[in-house]
Amino acid sequence: MERLNWLVNRGVDEERCGNEAVAMVPPDVPAKVRRFHKQIPGFRATPLKSLRRLADMFDVGGIWVKDESQRCELTSFKVLGGSYAIYQLLKRRLGEAGELSFAELTSPRVREEVGSLTFAAATDGNHGRGVAWAASKLEQQAVIYVPRGTSPARMGAIRSHGAEVHVVDGTYDDAVEQIQHDAEDRGWVVVSDTAWEGYEDIPRWVMQGYSTMFAEAQEQLVGVGVPQPSHVFLQAGVGSLAASAVAFYRCLLGKHAPQFVVVEPSKAACLFESVRIGEGKPYKFAGALDTIMAGLSCGRPNPLAWRVLRDCAQFFVACPDYVAARGMRMYAVPLEGDPFIVSGESGAVTLGVLSFVMQRPELAPLRERLGLGKESEVLLINSEGNTDPDHFRQVVWEGAHAVPPGVTVSAASG
Ligand SMILES: Cc1ncc(COP(=O)(O)O)c(C=O)c1O
């Protein structure tokens, strides 16, 4: 039976970590990024929710959930990255060194100068939806490639912003390769959340764009009297989200940054495997990547994100799909007094992992290594809401992907 695996990253290097973090999210960048996001019409900070009763059950100081299911009505954090990258791209095209307002970006002058553009992205759904949304706000075109097996609901959500959607007969990694070729032939501007040789600026902007989420969370924590999280659990596909969090906190807090736990599906654990191999370089994860965590179904780490995670992130976890499904049900049926949170497969996996770490006897060594206890303030990111309604109901109503007998967690714990 497939189980949750974890490892301690022996490659953490304080000095290199500091340098990589500053290169990724320079200290002045989060405030600039936030100023840009704040002027998008309808933009609001997402809530930070406290699972007080669950924290008591698990005997930790606090469990805090940054709820990205409510981000700009797009149900995922991804729009933060795509929109900021497109903003930077347009600024570069216009030769503008300073900041540009959203109103200027959508003005006839800018449209005339940049002309008509087609933004292209490969996606499991959420990134493509963010790019399509940003392109439509700027009255530009978007073409989005999705891997085989992408749910009709996810494709429909992208099309609802006026984008063209093409299904590539392969995985997310194949879609990334395909779009590089097609974009070159057709003059599209690729807005990718992963990097490759010679293509780094845009994915770096995407990662910088995500910093708004952590800047908001940090401000919200301080607002309720918690100076900082002690632990951050981060779900990873190509690793851009996780690297953005690590770089943000590392630049803000230096050596007092929280402990980071990077979580992937066992069926697409490219970062976990790269750390396990321990040669300091990213490895491609072989296999069909057929996990229910569609947003994390990536076989090739983002090389930029990899460098930050390799040098800074202390713990890596690879987990079966049933861990994510348990997280979805825990969010959907909270303890009395805790808020109800809508969380999809990739969003919920970190709560699933936390519950296993706190409740499964064989994970006591990980619990101890992490130092999780009464003083701990744990930050989780609910990175998506209900992005695939049919599957959401199968998991939450029908109990699909149940925790196998023999692995069930002790109800009496806590
Ligand atoms: C909901 C959700 N969570 C997490 C991630 C992981 O982000 P990254 O690929 O940057 O690791 C994704 C990526 O698409 C996602 O859609």
Say how far apart CA 218 and CA 229 lie, in whole Å: 8
Residues 363 and 286 in one domain: yes
What pLDDT, on the 0 to 100 scale, is given for residue 412?
A: 40
Q: Which two tokens stand for residue 135?
A: 């392109």
Residues 322 and 291 in one domain: yes
Q: What is the CATH number of the domain that holds 339?
A: 3.40.50.1100
Q: Looking at ligand 1, which atom is closest to the CA of residue 241?
A: 10
For residue 399, the one-letter residue type is: G
Yes or no: say if 87 and 201 are a contact pair by the CB < 8 Å rule.
no
Quick check: CB of 240 below 6 Å from ligand 1?
Answer: yes
Residues 29 and 57 in one domain: yes
What pLDDT, on the 0 to 100 scale, is given for residue 262?
A: 99
- Across the chain, what does the average pLDDT equal? 95
Quick check: CB of 126 below 6 Å from ligand 1?
Answer: yes
CB neighbourhood size of 194 (10 A): 24
Cα distances (Å, whole numbers) of residue 354 to 262, 288, 366: 12, 26, 11
Please state the rounded mean pLDDT for residues 74-99.
93
Residues 51 and 182 in one domain: no
Residue 202 included in any domain: no
Residues 58 and 132 in one domain: no
CB neighbourhood size of 28 (10 A): 9
Residue 329 included in any domain: yes
Task: Identify the band that residue 41 occupies on the pLDDT scale cut at 50, 70 and 90.
Answer: confident
Please state the rounded mean pLDDT for residues 134-147.
93
Quick check: CB of 67 below 6 Å from ligand 1?
Answer: no
pLDDT at residue 340 tops 80: yes
What pLDDT, on the 0 to 100 scale, is given for residue 408?
A: 64
Quick check: CB of 71 below 6 Å from ligand 1?
Answer: no
Task: State what percent of residues in the chain have pLDDT above 90.
Answer: 89
Quick check: CB of 241 below 6 Å from ligand 1?
Answer: yes
Q: Which two tokens stand for residue 281?
A: 């370089």
What pLDDT, on the 0 to 100 scale, is given for residue 407?
A: 82
pLDDT at residue 414 tops 80: no
Q: Which two tokens stand for residue 143?
A: 């073409």
Give SS3 for 384: strand
Residues 354 and 220 in one domain: yes
Cα distances (Å, whole numbers) of residue 57 to 52, 359, 369: 9, 10, 20
51-71 tens-digit pLDDT: 999 999 999 999 999 999 999
Domain boundaries, position 160:
79-192
Yes or no: say if 348 and 49 are a contact pair by the CB < 8 Å rule.
no
Residues 16 and 104 in one domain: no
Taking CA atoms only, the protein residue closest to ligand 1 atom 15 is: 295
- The yes-or-no answer on residue 38 being catalytic is no
Say how far apart CA 257 and CA 25 lie, in whole Å: 14
Q: Nearest-5° angle of CA 317, CA 168, CA 184? A: 105
User: Which residue out of 67, 124, 311, 321 is catalytically annotated?
Assistant: 124
Residue 146 included in any domain: yes
Residues 228 and 376 in one domain: yes
- The yes-or-no answer on residue 78 being catalytic is yes
Q: Looking at ligand 1, which atom is closest to the CA of residue 298?
A: 9
Q: Ligand 1: which of 126, 133, 319 to mutate, judged by most atoms within 8 Å of the beta carbon?
A: 126
**Ligand 1 centroid from CA 146, angstroms:** 14
Over 60-99, what HEC string results?
CCEEEEEEHHHCCCCCECCHHHHHHHHHHHHHHHHCCCCC
pLDDT at residue 139 tops 50: yes
Q: Looking at ligand 1, which atom is closest to the CA of residue 76?
A: 1
Say how far apart CA 363 and CA 54 lie, in whole Å: 18
**Ligand 1 centroid from CA 113, angstroms:** 33
Residues 310 and 371 in one domain: yes
**Ligand 1 centroid from CA 251, angstroms:** 22
Residue 409 included in any domain: no
**Ligand 1 centroid from CA 406, angstroms:** 30
What pLDDT, on the 0 to 100 scale, is given for residue 102?
A: 85
Residues 242 and 385 in one domain: yes
Residue 403 included in any domain: no
Q: Looking at ligand 1, which atom is closest to the CA of residue 124?
A: 14
The total number of structural domains in the chain stands at: 2
Residues 314 and 186 in one domain: no
Residues 87 and 69 in one domain: no
User: Which residue out of 49, 78, 137, 267 is catalytically annotated?
Assistant: 78
Quick check: CB of 212 below 6 Å from ligand 1?
Answer: no
pTM for the whole thing?
0.96
